[in-house]
A and B are shown apart, each in its own frame.
Chain A
Amino acid sequence: MAEIRSRLALLSQNLRYRAHVFPLPVKSLVSWAEGLGLARGGKTILYTGHLYQLLPYLRVLREREQGFVRGRDWLSRLAPVLNPWINVSRLAILGREERRLQEYYTGVLRRVVKLLRKCGVEPGYLYEKEYYPGTLAYDLGLEGVFELQARRVVRAFREAGVRTIITVDPHSTALLREVYPQLFPDWDFEVRSYLEILFQESRHLSLRGEEGVYLWHDSCVYVRYLRMVEEPREILKRAGMEIREPRFSREITRCCGGPAETLFPEKAGELARARMEELSALGPGTVITLCPICHFNLMAVSGPDQRVEDFVRVLRLEE
């Protein structure tokens, strides 16, 4: 229980004092956009919600924890005591594997921009003014700091003159669509997932996919919170790709275990392995995920001969 308490305290402190769930140097959060020429702010922006950028650092923490299993309890007790004065998150240094993961996720975000441009959408970006939406705080019941964070997010949108927010992950999309409007009576932003834009426009685009056999994993949040089931399937169909689906798919998809990662990493691993077994039972092929957390968690338990790819990484745009 001390671990849960410590982790909640860390999250709460980080959001309160540093406006971030896991405070990292600004460069780690915005460098993916280097050279893309994205305008600063504007009516339509791409909102990353920091999820893709955070995951390589989460891997560092997980690895470190596994290495310190015996001393875990006193370490976890000490961290929240030190954290108000020393940003303990900065102690996470990426190793080779994490840097590779960071490059991969950078590629995902850059490809989303490329796809949006092909759809005729030129989004702006808030760079260092983009704040984490507070998903983890909301989910874990840290209501006070969540509201504090949400106010920062909305203030940044207003100051930049934003009207339409394009999201790249299901968790940020659901939060901005379902929770923020309840919190802010004057909420008048349009929230669109890049998948919805791609679905709408892809019939006019020359899309194609990498050849191969694809095994489909639905995200719980896309299908059960956002009711987004057919859109990504249709995009792949238009790209000439076929998918194989496990029995537990669509509205009854099984969780990848990702939400347990923060407090119960071992449980998260168990669930991910069970899901990978279901997908592998479909035969050899590349697993496709739509959510960064699903990708991160399933990839962590995949074998050397198994590939797990983010949705946008298997799509190609013919020049």
Chain B
Amino acid sequence: MIRLRPEWRRIFEARERDLDARRCFNCGTCTTLCPLGLKVLPREIFRYALLGAEEKLRENREAVYACLLCRLCEVNCPQGVKITEVIRLLRVYLAEEDLEVRP
């Protein structure tokens, strides 16, 4: 069972306003193009983030850090989602919460 943490989602949404992962309509272009070939990248990860499924995000932490930020997915996204910025934002939260590397 996936446990959701709405407060975590709200934190994400507050920062994610301009990045708009919600526009993703799950077409899979990004996952098909991803040079890493990881099926969770990036759309599945985005679903977890939008739901506030914190544990699932933590489980897939390595995939979040593995993203190359190469933007091959982003320039081909039919919905124009700023994918690499969303991934980077997820890293900010993982780094702050898990790794305790706050300034």
Contact = CB atoms under 8 A, between A and B. Distances in A.
Contact of B94 (A141, A144, A259): A141
Q: Which of A1, A16, A143 has the most CB of B within 10 A?
A: A143
Main secondary structure of the interface of A (DSSP, over half): helix
Contacts of B61: 1, 4
Contacts of B98: 5
B36 interface: yes
Interface stretch (B20-28, B40-48, B62-70): B62-70
Interface in B79-103: 88-96, 98-99, 101-103
A225 B103 CA distance: 28
Nearest to A140: B91
B101 A257 contact: no
A308 B72 CA distance: 23
Interface residues on B, range: 20 to 34
A277 to B, nearest CB: 13
Nearest to B75: A224
Contacts, number: 79
Interface stretch (A59-67, A91-99, A125-133, A260-268): A260-268
Contacts of B94: 141
Nearest to B94: A141
B74 interface: yes
B75 A9 contact: no
Interface in A207-239: 220, 224-225
Majority secondary structure, B binding face: helix
A4 B71 contact: no
Interface of A: 1, 4-5, 8-9, 12, 16, 138-145, 147-148, 220, 224-225, 251-252, 254-255, 257, 259-260, 263-264, 267, 271, 274
Given A5-B98, A141-B92, A255-B72, 10 more contacts: A9-B101, A139-B91, A140-B95, A142-B95, A148-B103, A220-B68, A224-B72, A257-B68, A260-B68, A271-B36
30 contacts: A4-B62, A4-B65, A8-B101, A139-B69, A139-B88, A139-B91, A140-B65, A141-B92, A142-B101, A143-B103, A145-B101, A145-B103, A147-B103, A220-B68, A220-B71, A224-B72, A224-B74, A224-B75, A225-B71, A252-B72, A252-B76, A255-B70, A257-B35, A259-B68, A259-B70, A263-B65, A264-B66, A267-B36, A271-B35, A274-B35
